[in-house]
Chains A and B, each alone.
Chain A
Amino acid sequence: MWGQYSYGILVVMVAGVIAFYALARERDDLHKLLLLDLVEIVALGIIALLGTDLAEALILPGLTVGIAELLALSQIYCTKEGIRDRPVRGLNIEVIAKADAPLILSIFLVAYGMVLSGFTGGGVAGLGLVFLFISRTYREDLNLLEMASGISWALWIFAFFIFMFLPQYWFVALMGAAIGILLKVTVKMSLVGTMWGEQHD
């Protein structure tokens, strides 16, 4: 076990050294940011090497912090370079916009997400919806989606109360929490997909 961990950490360290070397040579600000995003993955690799439940619980906040910093920096980059009024209107690729492929891929991802359930399932299903929304330029009523997200979040919290106060019904609570978080993450991610490129007004 210790041997595997040591080899793993050696590989990660080598990857880190390569990434930082690239970073030291890079001069373009935007490319530096992209390289740093790659380096972040290395850090998550070191945590993942623990291979325990604890590691899984630690990766998520680590990932969140990384994404938060990335978003903040890209916002500063846009402001300092004066990049404005350039909305992205979906993926402007004719093949993707016309063909059935995005629909089939999305259905596959959503179905697979349902099977996985829980947070991971929500992520996979949400990714499917994001892909569908950005390949077709939909104009949806976002209020309904937001409401669905709120209600499923309430379901998740309610399931936790069952865990706390009625532990003998743990199976119901488990199912409720799994479905609640599945719906919530799915809806949240699809909201990201639809809000893509919209103007702030």
Chain B
Amino acid sequence: MIDLIGGVPLFVLEFGDELVYFTPYTITLFLLALTFTLLVLISRPERQIDIAFGSDAYRAKEISVSEMRFRRFMAIACGLATMGAMVTGDIFNFTLFTAMVGITNVGIVAAVKSKHVQDAAYQYGLVALAATVPLFAGAAIYAAVTGSLSMIELMKGTVPAVPLIAKGMLVLGVIGEGMAPFYAAKAEMFRAPGAPYVIMCSLSSLLIFLRVVEIVMLG
């Protein structure tokens, strides 16, 4: 128990299949996601301004209210999915929340009426869709080897050791869903106007990557 990266769980809630626990590590990540979701909820979106190079001319991009409303909804959904992924103690629930982060990340920029942003979002969506294969496969191998999906059981160390391939697949899936360490791949998406919402793409993928590090160290 000493070498757990997340520390000893402070609080464990077992409600049927649903398992939620907080460690000092996950509570930090959870609070970060919560704070940012609240920020998205209350903040007013930016107005992006293009400046013509070499002159004083500039123009502000007009964005419709309905588009902004949709993107705010997607950003909040993304925040909720991220919070779920931070607190859940069940491997399969974690993969589902991660997949939802992937969908909402695409959704945040999908409403933007700009060709290059939509192209980028589509290609990123393809990667996210492909990443569900190793993600779910990793969780299934976890269940096949240990007979349980509970992270608390994994922590106890009484179940058989999880094979490296299952851990690798889980990490690969999370990388694909969130593109966590490869932000350059999402650069075109970040060019979409609407500051607080777009940052949610980046933050959520960072958080799910940090969480999967903890999960992989458990078994």
Nearest B-chain residue to A77, judged by Cβ = B122
Which residues of A lie under 8 Å from residue B130 when comparing CB positions?
Answer: 20, 23, 36, 39
- Tell me if B132 and A46 are in contact (CB < 8 A): no
- Tell me if A68 and B103 are in contact (CB < 8 A): yes
In A11-43, the 8 Å CB interface with B consists of: 16, 20, 23, 29, 32-33, 36, 39-40, 42-43
Select the stretch in A58-66, A124-132, A149-157, A172-180 that faces chain B: A58-66
A interface footprint on B118-142 (CB within 8 Å = 1, 0 otherwise):
1101100110111011111101110
Q: Give the number of chain A interface residues (Cβ < 8 Å).
A: 35
Which residues of A lie under 8 Å from residue B128 when comparing CB positions?
Answer: 69
- Does B102 sit at the interface, judged by CB under 8 A? yes
- Does A166 sit at the interface, judged by CB under 8 A? no
- Does B99 sit at the interface, judged by CB under 8 A? yes
Select the stretch in A48-56, A89-97, A184-192 that faces chain B: A48-56
How far, in whole Å, are A16 and B122 apart by their CA atoms in the complex?
22
- Does B32 sit at the interface, judged by CB under 8 A? no
- Tell me if A69 and B129 are in contact (CB < 8 A): yes
Partner of A36, one of B100, B126, B137: B126
Q: If the complex has contacts A43-B132, A61-B96, are A73 and B126 also in contact, measured as CB distance less than 8 A?
A: yes
How far, in whole Å, are A184 and B123 apart by their CA atoms in the complex?
36
How far, in whole Å, are A36 and B119 apart by their CA atoms in the complex?
17
- Tell me if A43 and B133 are in contact (CB < 8 A): yes
Which residues of B lie under 8 Å from residue A73 when comparing CB positions?
Answer: 106, 122, 125-126, 129
Known contacts A66-B129, A80-B122; can you find 9 more A-B pairs with CB under 8 A? Answer: A43-B132, A43-B134, A47-B136, A47-B137, A47-B140, A61-B96, A65-B100, A73-B126, A76-B122
